[in-house]
Amino acid sequence: MAMLQNSITDSVASTFFVLGPKTIFYHMAWKDLPIAPRVDFYFFELLNPKKFLNGERPHFKEYGPFEFRVSRHRRVSDWNQETVVFKEKYRFDLDTKASIDHSRTIQAINLSALGVGFDFVNKFKIKFMFPVVQKILMDVLEMFDERSVITTTAGSLIMGHLFEAVNIPLPDISELMSSYGEWTMRDQNMSLIDMINRNEFGPIELYRKKLGIHKMSEVKSVLNQNTYANYKSPCNMFGSIDPMHFGLRDQGETIALFLEQICRPLYFIKTRQVFYPLLYPLFI
């Protein structure tokens, strides 16, 4: 009965909700979010920074939540016969009344600096020298007062802090540190929320209507790619209506999460808004 109901729902949605520049669905539900969702962020405070720097396992304490109201706008660049191509921009606004105090000072791992080091090694294909290059790069970052562990407020982590290393006078490194794919830092302010609020992400290509096995709003390509680089074939193919659900297939009563290491799907069944694992299909 559930499978029949889903088939009927998909059929109705594909019939009445076709993406087009003049459709009601496009203007009322697709171009902008009709209802602003809320997202909770948590930080992980590092409790043993000195021991961590000496090579011991880090101990973390969860700190949060920090609640944000989310809005999203999509800007269409091309209406094709079967697909629509667009870029989307999100905005996150902190709800201070629903969030924990963001003025408290905490110690945290400097993910900005460590991320730069990882991207540098990945870009120049020198992974076999990673320990040596990482040490040299971290020493360079420390010259610009960027440490592996930083003491700062939760508010600075949320809304951004100055990242002095962007001023390194080397073209390749400066470009690497100031650009993350399609998202670009426009000043020295390093913040995930700030980068999201300032930049568009895309292009993303979706199917405009039901076409064979493809559903309306199913992802065809992201950043002009139709596979995910971090998954092995055939688990790297797109098969979802949400570009953020990497490695997922379908979104009905069951959902399949592909495991990169063994390239096998792990199935979950949805019951009362909670997904429970079904282990038996794992080895099919």
Q: What is the pLDDT of residue 227?
A: 77
Averaged pLDDT, 208-214: 79
Instruction: Quote the pLDDT of residue 3.
Output: 36
Distance CA 169, CA 163 (A): 14
Share of the chain above pLDDT 70, in %: 47
**What confidence tier does 76 reach under pLDDT thresholds 50, 70, 90?**
very high
Contact (CB, 8 A) for 13 and 50: no
Reported confidence tier of residue 201, pLDDT bands at 50, 70, 90:
confident
Would you call 192 exposed, middle or buried from its count of C-beta atoms within 10 A (0-12, 13-18, 19+)?
A: middle
| pLDDT at residue 62 in the model | 84
CB 256 within 8 A of CB 250: yes
H or E segment and range at residue 202: strand 200-207
CB 124 within 8 A of CB 170: no
How far is residue 252's CA from residue 10's CA, in Å, rounded to a whole number? 10
> What does the pLDDT look like over 106-127, one tens digit per residue?
887 776 666 655 565 566 555 5
Q: Give yes or no for a contact between 189 and 163, defined as CB atoms under 8 angstroms apart.
A: yes
How many whole angstroms separate alpha carbon 280 and alpha carbon 259?
15
What is residue 269's predicted lDDT score, i.e. its pLDDT? 61
| Cα distances (Å, whole numbers) of residue 197 to 165, 204, 258 | 22, 18, 30
Residue 50 has pLDDT above 50, yes or no: yes
Q: Is the pLDDT of residue 17 over 60?
A: yes
Residue type, 251: Q
Could you give the 3-state DSSP secondary structure of residue 19? coil
Position 83 scores a pLDDT of: 93
**More reliable by pLDDT, 249 or 37:** 37
Q: Residue 203 — left, alpha, or beta (φ > 0 → left; ψ -120 to 50 → alpha)?
A: beta
- Radius of gyration, alpha carbons of the chain: 22
If we measure between CA atoms, which residue out of 167, 166, 168 comes closest to residue 177?
166
Distance from C-alpha of 188 to C-alpha of 198, rounded to nearest angstrom: 13
Q: In this prediction, what percent of the chain has a pLDDT beyond 90?
A: 7
Task: Please state the rounded mean pLDDT for residues 147-175.
Answer: 59
How many whole angstroms separate alpha carbon 181 and alpha carbon 196? 13
pLDDT at 73: 93
What confidence score (pLDDT) does residue 134 get? 55
| pLDDT above 80 (res 276) | no
Average pLDDT of span 227-232: 65
pLDDT tens digits, one per residue of 19-45: 899 988 888 888 998 888 888 888 778
Please provide the average confidence, as pLDDT, over all residues in the chain: 68
Do you know the residue count of the chain?
284
The whole-number pLDDT of residue 240 equals: 57
